[in-house]
Structure 1
Amino acid sequence: MRLAMFTDVALRVLMCLAAARDDLLTTRRVAEVIGVPYTHTAKAVARLQHLGLVEARRGRGGGLSLGAGAPAASMGALVRELEGAGDVVACEGDVPCPLVANCRLRGVLRRAQEAFYASLDPITLADLVTSPSGPTLIGMIGRAPTGTG
């Protein structure tokens, strides 16, 4: 199974903010640190704000920080939310699969998808930023920006 780029970006945003701890980072700086275009990062930040996982303060001295419940958030629940309820395969559409009415593959893949999410359920954001990820992110946050953004 492959995650959508949006989900990947959102998870990286959360990891970056978790590593920054109490330091406020701008969306532009987060984009530089995680190596993603600003526009993609801004969309992910907006969705994470809507979910209550990120807080944004505007103006001088503003920036992004984690919402109160973010460190304990289940990665399985978050990935389910970000990925949506779609199937792993597209059985119906412009050219529907001729087996759609009697196919066993769809159910098998749906169970496999749920097993994937279930394996992420006990993992929290706090778990993702333990060593070596957290210290690496802290080092990246502290570096001067290298790109434009």
Structure 2
Amino acid sequence: MRLLRSTDLALRFLMRLTVVETSTPTTRDVAADMDVPYTHAAKVVAELQRLGLVDARRGRGGGLSLTEKGRTASVGAVVRTFEGEGDVVDCEGTTPCPLSPGCRLRGELRRAQEAFYAALDPVTVADVVAEPTGPLLLGLPKAP
């Protein structure tokens, strides 16, 4: 299974915001710190804000901050949200699979997908920034 780029960015942004010490970085700052395009970052931040995981304020003195909900969010829940509902494979797409009526693979892949999410459900964003990750995030070079 491969995560969407937006899922990866959402998790990295949440992790980065978890360890911010004093300043309130902007979307542009975090995008630069994570070496991702600003346009991608803005879309991800908008979704994180909609989910109540990040507070984003515009203008002078604005920036991004992690909400308490964001700090305690389940990594599994974040991944589910960004990945969306659906099966690992598209058996009913534009060219339906001829094996669909009797295929057992689809069910097995679905169980594997649920096991993946279940493994991430008890893990919080705060958990994944524990040593040694937190200090690494703090040591990222600042964008110019």
TM-score scaled by length of structure 1 = 0.92
Q: Is the 8 A contact 1:74 1:125 kept in 2?
A: yes
Once residues 46 and 81 of structure 2 are traced to their aligned partners in structure 1, the CA distance between those partners, rounded to angstroms, is: 14
Q: Is the 8 A contact 1:23 1:65 kept in 2?
A: no
Q: Is the 8 A contact 1:24 1:63 kept in 2?
A: yes
**1:30-55: CA deviation from partner (whole Å, max 9, x where unpaired):** 00111111000100000000000000
Q: Secondary structure at the match of 2:126?
A: helix
The amino acid of 2:96's aligned partner reads P
The amino acid of 1:8's aligned partner reads D
Whether 2:130 is the aligned partner of 1:145: answer: no
Distance 1:114 1:21, change over 3 A: farther
Whether 2:87 is the aligned partner of 1:120: answer: no
Q: Secondary structure at the match of 2:3?
A: coil
The amino acid of 1:57's aligned partner reads R
Percent of aligned positions with the same letter in both sequences?
61
Structure 2 unaligned regions, length at least 5: none
Q: Which residue of 1 aligns with 2:71?
A: 71
Q: Which residue of 2 aligns with 1:43?
A: 43
Whether 2:30 is the aligned partner of 1:30: answer: yes
1:127-138 map, 5 Å: 127-138=127-138
TM-score scaled by length of structure 2 = 0.95
The 10-residue stretch of structure 1 (67-76 or 48-57) with the greater mean CA deviation from structure 2:
67-76
Q: Is the 8 A contact 1:22 1:65 kept in 2?
A: no
Once residues 93 and 52 of structure 1 are traced to their aligned partners in structure 2, the CA distance between those partners, rounded to angstroms, is: 33
Q: Which residue of 1 aligns with 2:11?
A: 11
Q: Is the 8 A contact 2:33 2:142 kept in 1?
A: no
Structure 1 unaligned regions, length at least 5: none
CA shift, 1:77, in A, is 1.2
Q: Which residue of 2 aligns with 1:103?
A: 103
- How many residues get paired? 144
Once residues 135 and 72 of structure 2 are traced to their aligned partners in structure 1, the CA distance between those partners, rounded to angstroms, is: 19
